Amino acid sequence: MRLHKEGIIPITVSLVLFALCLFLYFHFTSLPAFVDVLVVIALGVNPFLAIRFFRVPCRHPNLVENGVISPADGTVIAVEEKEETEYLKDRRIKISIFMSVHNVHVNFYPIDGTVEYVAYHPGKYFVAHLPKSSFDNEHNTVVVAKEDGTQVLFRQIAGFVARRIVSYPKVGDTVQQATEMGMIRFGSRVDVFLPLDAEVNVKVGDKVRTQKTVLAYL
């Protein structure tokens, strides 16, 4: 496991505050040992959560040439046919993955190909599992096209707690399946739009893992 570079500042701040609070507590108070233990545990919750949130597990990617690998850890909350109106302008199979604060929040490319479209959209912060969050919330859309022209669109969506979307791709980039493309902070969602003839491999309620779970076959 490693820590994501986006977590350097928040983790450092939380550790400094933790150390400062401990210093002030032990310098100015004299309480029973069991109280000291409880205080240390309580103060340590914030840095523990910060480190846990920005963790990046070391996984061996499940590379599948005709597969679409999950771009996020989380729970499948929707598998449905929808009109994609931002870029593809046609009907697609949409798979929505909800990421709780307990999930790994780093996102990875679902397929090999060339980045064809990237667009960030500011917005609101509704609860990420609501259908309207796909367009009303702050979101970032990326389209990757395979060599044969097959396009996969995936959308990072900020949630009620999430306040920052990090996205690295640029139009024209050649990308590889299961390599890092960004992250979303503190609870969010990723929608994946696939061709109608894709063979879906997951259902609502399934737990998926980025770099590992095959969402569908193209």
Catalytic residue among 70, 96, 133, 188: 188
Question: DSSP letters of 182-193?
Answer: EEESSSEEEEEE
C-alpha radius of gyration, the chain, whole number: 20
- How far is Cα 1 from Cα 77, in angstroms, rounded to an integer? 27
145 CB contacts (<8 Å, ≥6 apart)? Answer: 113, 114, 116, 151, 152
Tell me whether residue 188 is one of the annotated catalytic residues: yes
Question: Known catalytic residues?
Answer: 188
